[in-house]
Amino acid sequence: MTQQGEVWIFAEQRDGRLMSVSLELLNKGKELADQLSTRLVTVLLGDQIDDLAQQIIDYGAHKVYGLENKNLRLYQSEAYARLIAELIDEHRPELFLLGATMVGMDLAPRVAAKVKTGLTAHCSDLYLEEMEGQKKLIAAVPGWGGNFVVKIACPQATPQMATVRSGVFEKPEKKPGRKGEIVKIAAQIMIEDERVETVEMVESHPVGLKLEDAEIVVGGGWGFQSVSGFHLAEELAEALGGVTAGSRPAVDAGWIKEDRMIGSSGKTIAPKLFVSAGASGAMHFTTGFSKAKVIVAIDQNPNAPIFEAADIGLVGDLGKILPRFIQELKREKNEI
């Protein structure tokens, strides 16, 4: 009888702090490990990692592989990928999940190519399904038009790998003093690893409201057609007391900054109110705000799939309908 491979999570640390998405993955990972009757294991790289390793145990991992070296304090793409791939080759876990951060998205594909396995990017859900008598990971990713998701599996190779954005799963409960196994490994850096070297990390957490924390968000899409048109989205956000965001096409057009992008390759948010304006409703976009309490959609095409994903729909020309909407909001405010 072959032993069931473990469920592995990459625990990403920056400057000695665990990224919240890694903790969220511990929650989902625990559920998957229980269903596979196996253990939940994390891989942590850094310098002086004892405290972090214990925190990970407190959040529910059975075991932590802690790869330590002072040169691993910052993310080093070659060394991280090689060390993780070596550990995978030694233990062959069944699943390996990483947060779809701008570090995780750099690391995961390189590791997958090294160990020759499949990787699914920024999934909106993960679950197990029986395939040819074995429980296999189904990674759900947003489809195109309409309201559907595509199920992707990696039926032959292991580990089955996936990346998940922050905000998709919930953080598990922390139980201080939980018991688990911490395996510390003194990691070696090779000469080839030094072909690329991160020399400095500069973090600048923004002052003011982060998109993820905003209660009201107006998301603009391709329908604005110009940067001056997009200005109406800003005005609407202001009238609502919220902030603006955009779809991938709006970001690519340069109307709004990349860190304000909503969707499967942008941010996942759960505001009280989300107003989509000028976006047709490709699921790549709608998946980013599907957890909002109330969704309003405004678009000129009455058949746009965005209206399927909204509580309130307004069909019309953005240039005509938005000024009216803004005017009504202002009038309403003044009457109180």
Partner 1 sequence: MPLNSIVCIKQVPHPEHFSKISLDPVTGSIRRAGIPSVLNPLDKNAIEEALRIREKFSGKVTAITMGPPQARDVLEEAYAIGVDEGVLLCDLTLAGADSLATAYTLAKGIERVGKYDLILCGNESIDGATQQVGPQLAELLGIPHVTHVVEVHWLNEGEALVKREIEYGYLKVKVRMPAVMTVMKNINTCRLPSVLDIMGAVGKEIQSWGCCDIEGEKECVGLPGSPTRVVGIVHLESKRKREMLKGSEEEMAQMAVKRLREYGVI
Q: Does 75 contact partner 1 by CB under 8 A?
A: yes
Q: Phi and psi for 9 in degrees, rounded to 5?
A: -125, 135
**Per-residue tokens: 160:** 């089955």
Q: Does 282 contact partner 1 by CB under 8 A?
A: yes
Q: Between 57 and 100, whose beta carbon lies closer to partner 1?
A: 100
With residue 249 as reference, give the H or E element that holds it: helix 248-252
Q: Between 36 and 138, whose beta carbon lies closer to partner 1?
A: 138
Query: Rule CB under 8 A: which of 209-228 touch partner 1?
Result: 216, 222
Amino acid making up residue 36: L
Q: Does 88 contact partner 1 by CB under 8 A?
A: no
Per-residue string for binding with partner 1, 306-325, x by CB under 8 A? xxxxxxxxxxx---xx--xx
**Per-residue tokens: 97:** 């999940």
From the CB of residue 5, how many other CB atoms can be counted at a distance below 10 Å? 19
CA distance 164 to 162: 7
Q: Between 40 and 115, whose beta carbon lies closer to partner 1?
A: 115
**Bridge partners, 216 (sequence order):** 273
Q: How far is the CB of 26 from partner 1 (least distance, A)?
A: 19
Query: Rule CB under 8 A: which of 168-207 touch partner 1?
Result: 195-206
Question: Site size for partner 1, by CB under 8 A?
Answer: 99
- Grouping H, G, I as helix, E, B as strand and the rest as coil, residue 250 is helix
Of 89, 90, 3, 2, nearest to 38 by C-alpha is 3
Q: Between 186 and 202, whose beta carbon lies closer to partner 1?
A: 202
Query: Rule CB under 8 A: which of 16-55 touch partner 1?
Result: none
Q: Between 34 and 332, whose beta carbon lies closer to partner 1?
A: 332
Q: Does 262 contact partner 1 by CB under 8 A?
A: no
Strand pairing category for 40-46 and 7-11 = parallel
